[in-house]
């Protein structure tokens, strides 16, 4: 390619580097020849000497959960805008993310974003050794000093508890997700503690898969008992489970929401705000969380051990209302 354009090989490199010192004339000549020959600079070779690949690994949970696909979409948009690319990994629901992360580390990515994970400290060590910054997105791993960007799950859970209590609910059902997940734990903790402080102790907790079917199935089995034993209010730890709940409650038990039973979710996914649902929920400000993540990755030190706790937005919705509000 270099000799095809009649220039030296470094000249080609400079022609494609906007801030290199080269005469406009020569640059144009190179660029023209490149177009002619269908030449495109090879990012890999470049990364080998520059030690920056312009690639960021994003390891997410199953993309059939809208929260993950929405997040990924925002990540891709934002990285693309800064001419970086997303190397996408997905970790199956119950799978350990260590193997996946190991796979990601084989690529000299400029950073790793984990939106779903049970990371072991060995992996953290490994990534540190390789000098690859890791940011936990919507996940926290207490032991490690990993940089974390997270919605204030505890406060969000608390807000929903207050709202449900204010609406007059007396018996509560909490539908937890992955018991290992920090997200689920924190939301439930905030919810539980707040109810306790309010003196509402009739609280039952059950678990379900952290997806639509999990929410649906949990309702099917719990509402198998006779009606007097049904709760007033349900808090599902995320919207997609709440949607599963809503469909099961309406479709199989003829319950109206919120007239017969209150329901709240968490995440604020688009789907949850559509006509049939209008969930009362807490929205995770994904855009903001993503830009905080980029910010951390752009820091020279990889933003080590910085914790960014971002408040969620309470969306009133229509699935939690006081009797007075709808009677």
Partner DNA sequence: TTGTATGCGTTATCAA
Partner DNA sequence: TTGATAACGCATACAA
Shortest reach from residue 44's CB to DNA, in Å: 7
Is 49 an interacting residue with respect to DNA (CB under 7 A)? Answer: yes
In whole angstroms, how close is the CB of 95 to DNA at the nearest point? 26
Candidates 21, 83, 180, 224: give the one binding DNA (CB under 7 A). Answer: 21
Residue closer to a second copy (CB basis): 191 or 216: 216
CB closer to a second copy, 55 vs 141: 55
Q: Which is closer to a second copy, CB of 132 or CB of 233?
A: 132
Which of DNA, a second copy, none does 59 bind, CB closer than 5 to 8 A by kind?
A: none
- Binds 217: which of DNA, a second copy, none (CB < 5-8 Å by kind): none
Q: Are 213 and 175 in contact (CB under 8 A)?
A: no
Give Dmax over CA atoms of the chain in angstroms: 86
Nearer to DNA, 41 or 311 (CB): 41
- DSSP run (H or E) holding 202: none
**Polymer length in residues for the chain:** 327
Residues in 50-69 at the binding interface with DNA, rule: CB under 7 A:
50-51
Please spell the DSSP secondary structure of 210-230, one letter per residue.
SSHHHHHHHHHHHTTS-GGG-
Distance CA 66, CA 16 (A): 39
Binding site for a second copy (CB under 8 A): 37-38, 40-45, 47-48, 53, 55, 58, 62-64, 66, 69-70, 72-73, 76-77, 80, 83, 85-90, 100, 102-103, 105-108, 125-126, 129-130, 212, 243, 247-248, 250-251, 270-271, 274-276
User: Which among a second copy, DNA, none contacts residue 8 (Cβ within 5 to 8 A by kind)?
Assistant: DNA
Q: Considering the complex, state which of residue 131 and residue 142 has its C-beta at the smaller distance from DNA.
A: 131
Which of DNA, a second copy, none lies near 69, with the C-beta cut-off 5 to 8 A by kind? a second copy
| C-beta of 64 vs 299, nearer to a second copy | 64
Part of the chain binding DNA (CB under 7 A), chosen from 43-51, 60-68, 152-160, 176-184 = 43-51
Phi, psi of 237 (to 5 degrees): -70, -10
Q: Return left, alpha or beta for 20; rule: phi > 0 is left, psi -120 to 50 is alpha, else beta.
A: beta
- How many residues touch DNA (CB under 7 A)? 25
C-alpha to C-alpha distance for 216 and 244, rounded to whole angstroms: 4
**Nearest approach, Cβ of 298 to DNA (angstroms)?**
17
- Give the list of residues 6+ apart from residue 302 with CB closer than 8 angstroms, or none: 111, 131, 132, 133, 134, 147, 296
Q: Report the residue from 4, 18, 23, 183 that binds DNA according to the rule CB under 7 A.
A: 23
Backbone region of residue 161 per phi and psi (left: phi > 0; alpha: psi in -120 to 50; beta: other values): alpha
What SS3 state is found at 13? Answer: helix
- Classify the C-alpha dihedral 272-274-277-279 as positive or negative: positive
Q: Backbone dihedral region of 131: left (phi > 0), alpha (psi from -120 to 50 degrees) or beta?
A: left
Please report, as residue ranges, which positions from 274 to 293 form the binding site for DNA (by CB under 7 A).
none
| Interacting residue with DNA among 31, 41, 171, 310 (CB under 7 A) | 41
Three-state DSSP class for 247? helix
Q: Do 163 and 155 contact (CB within 8 A), yes or no?
A: no
CB 2 within 8 A of CB 39: no
Site residues (vs DNA, CB under 7 A): 1, 7-14, 16-17, 21-23, 25-26, 40-42, 45-46, 48-51
């Amino acid at each position: 390619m270099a000799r095809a354009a009649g220039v030296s090989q470094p000249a080609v490199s400079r022609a494609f580097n906007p801030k290199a010192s080269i005469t406009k004339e020569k640059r144009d000549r190179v660029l023209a020849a490149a177009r002619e020959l269908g030449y495109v600079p090879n990012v890999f070779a470049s990364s080998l000497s520059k030690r920056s690949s312009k690639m960021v690994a994003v390891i997410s949970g199953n993309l059939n959960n809208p929260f993950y696909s929405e997040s990924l979409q925002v990540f891709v948009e934002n990285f693309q805008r800064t001419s970086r690319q997303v190397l996408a990994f997905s970790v199956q629901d119950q799978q350990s993310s260590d193997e996946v992360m190991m796979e990601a580390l084989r690529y000299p990515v400029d950073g790793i974003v984990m939106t779903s994970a049970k990371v072991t400290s060995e992996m953290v060590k490994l990534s540190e050794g390789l000098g690859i910054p890791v940011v936990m997105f919507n996940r926290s791993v207490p032991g490690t000093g990993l940089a974390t960007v997270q919605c204030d799950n505890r406060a969000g859970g608390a807000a929903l508890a207050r709202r449900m209590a204010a609406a007059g609910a007396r018996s509560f059902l909490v539908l937890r997700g992955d018991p290992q997940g920090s997200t689920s734990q924190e939301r439930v903790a905030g919810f539980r503690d707040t109810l306790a402080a309010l003196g509402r102790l009739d609280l039952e907790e059950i678990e379900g898969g952290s997806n639509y079917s999990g929410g649906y199935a949990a309702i099917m089995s719990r509402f198998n008992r006779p009606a007097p034993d049904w709760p007033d209010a349900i808090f599902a730890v995320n919207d997609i489970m709440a949607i599963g709940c809503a469909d099961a409650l309406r479709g199989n038990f003829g319950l109206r929401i919120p007239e017969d039973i209150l329901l709240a979710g968490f995440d604020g996914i688009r789907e949850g705000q559509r006509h049939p649902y209008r969930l009362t929920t807490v929205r995770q400000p994904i855009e903001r969380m993503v830009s905080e993540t980029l910010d951390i990755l752009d820091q020279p030190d990889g933003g080590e051990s910085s914790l960014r706790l971002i408040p969620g937005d309470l969306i009133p919705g229509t699935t939690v209302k006081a009797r007075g509000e709808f009677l």
